[in-house]
Amino acid sequence: AAGVIQSPRHLIKEKRETATLKCYPIPRHDTVYWYQQGPGQDPQFLISFYEKMQSDKGSIPDRFSAQQFSDYHSELNMSSLELGDSALYFCASSLNREGTEAFFGQGTRLTVV
């Protein structure tokens, strides 16, 4: 069965650079979530989209932006990268229906040097 696809799997960037992370949700899933997991931390919600519209916003820095495209894939854009942005970034998708689990991608490990 198709899963959530994230690219790239690993990314190394220098401070003040920009990064774009991509997420391809499971077909027919209408909701996409982005989470950030720092080293030794639990995942923190960043932002979500339902049917290509932003549905919720969490602790996402102003330097970050995200969008969902007509083909339902989503991109997380990160600018002016800081050392503290080094983390595992997860995308998850689900159906907007009670009782359905969110399926996670394998994550993108971003290292800022």
Partner 1 sequence: AQKITQTQPGMFVQEKEAVTLDCTYDTSDPSYGLFWYKQPSSGEMIFLIYQGSYDQQNATEGRYSLNFQKARKSANLVISASQLGDSAMYFCAMTVANSKLTFGKGITLSVRP
Min CB(49)–partner 1 separation in Å: 11
CA gap 74, 69 in Å, rounded: 6
Shortest Å distance, C-beta 103 to partner 1: 6
User: Smallest distance, Å, CB 66 to partner 1?
Assistant: 13
What CA–CA distances, in Å, run from 19 to 4, 38, 50, 102, 106? 20, 17, 23, 25, 18
Q: What is the C-alpha separation between 24 and 2, in angstroms, rounded?
A: 10
CA atoms of 92 and 104, how far apart (whole Å): 4
Closest separation in Å from C-beta 43 to partner 1: 5
- Chain residues in the site for partner 1 (CB under 8 A): 31, 33, 35, 41-45, 48, 56, 58, 88, 90, 92, 94, 96-104, 106-107, 109
